[in-house]
Chains A and B, each alone.
Chain A
């Protein structure tokens, strides 16, 4: 299980979700991806997509207008494979 980090500050929609989807393909099940963004719509997009994929996630307000989304790739599938 490894931790990955993606700094997407300075990118507007739809780039953050495209980059997140590209990055998540490189991750193994159970790995954690931490994403930093300051685009509010991107936060909602990534949350909706994570819900759709069934990934567990957490959103933190790092500072005013900057969010960090921490998501785990397919936790359930990871548990099943143990």
Chain B
């Protein structure tokens, strides 16, 4: 009985996704690829139970670093992908100077993420699963983002420690990417050490 209901629900959702795909492709074909990527990433995120908030809280509270090591692999793959995109000249990364806003933003985001039980992607995924507890989290996320965007220019300029430094411009791509990979390997070893302690 439960299985039949699940199949019926899946068919209804599949119908709405196809309908949305048709509408988007008629509006602008590029939107279709956004939908496909969004569905794919959402599916992977949900099935893998990957959670960036838990990656940090598990390591600090329980000395469990499995998710944090997954996060390191995730940054490593992103680094290589980002390099390829930048070198092919198809995209331009958005780089801002480090400053007081980085520290304040990291503390606010980190505390909010752990208290709410999920980051931006995690919140959307859990809402998609039907977890209504995350509705107020989404409201807070949208409110906070809107507020942040409203006075972003102040934080981006007035609080900077120095002018914007983009490491590949300063030291070349091979050295910058190599240094990042070395840092990630170092963090991996630190996590392993904390786990075995």
> What 10 A-B pairs come out closest when comparing CB atoms?
A12-B117, A14-B57, A41-B51, A13-B54, A44-B49, A41-B54, A14-B61, A13-B117, A41-B49, A40-B49
B62 interface residue per 8 A CB criterion? yes
CB neighbours (8 Å) of B173 from chain A are none
- Chain A residue with minimal CB distance to B57? A14
**A69 to B: closest C-beta gap in Å:** 14
Q: Which of B21-29, B97-105, B125-133, B164-172 contacts A (4 or more CB under 8 A)?
A: B125-133
**A21 to B: closest C-beta gap in Å:** 8
* Chain B residues within 8 Å of chain A by Cβ, number: 20
Q: Tell me the B36-66 residues at the A interface (CB within 8 Å).
A: 49, 51, 53-54, 57-58, 61-62, 64, 66
CB neighbours (8 Å) of B131 from chain A are 38-39, 65
Is the beta-carbon distance between A14 and B133 smaller than 8 angstroms?
Answer: no
> Which interface class (under 10, 10 to 19, 20 to 34, 35 or more) fits A?
10 to 19
Is the beta-carbon distance between A13 and B130 smaller than 8 angstroms?
Answer: no
Interface centre among A13, A39, A48, A52 (most CB of B within 10 A): A13
Q: Tell me the A28-78 residues at the B interface (CB within 8 Å).
A: 38-41, 44-45, 48-49, 52, 64-65
Is the beta-carbon distance between B130 and A45 smaller than 8 angstroms?
Answer: no
CB neighbours (8 Å) of B130 from chain A are 64-65
**A65 to B: closest C-beta gap in Å:** 6
CB neighbours (8 Å) of B62 from chain A are 14, 17, 45, 49
**B124 to A: closest C-beta gap in Å:** 14
What CA separation (Å) do A45 and B49 show in the bound complex?
10
- Chain B residue with minimal CB distance to A52? B64
B184 interface residue per 8 A CB criterion? no
CB neighbours (8 Å) of A13 from chain B are 51, 53-54, 57-58, 117
**A35 to B: closest C-beta gap in Å:** 16
- Chain B residue with minimal CB distance to A38? B131
Task: Specify which of B49, B54, B61, B129 is in contact with A65 (CB 8 Å cutoff).
Answer: B129
**B130 to A: closest C-beta gap in Å:** 6
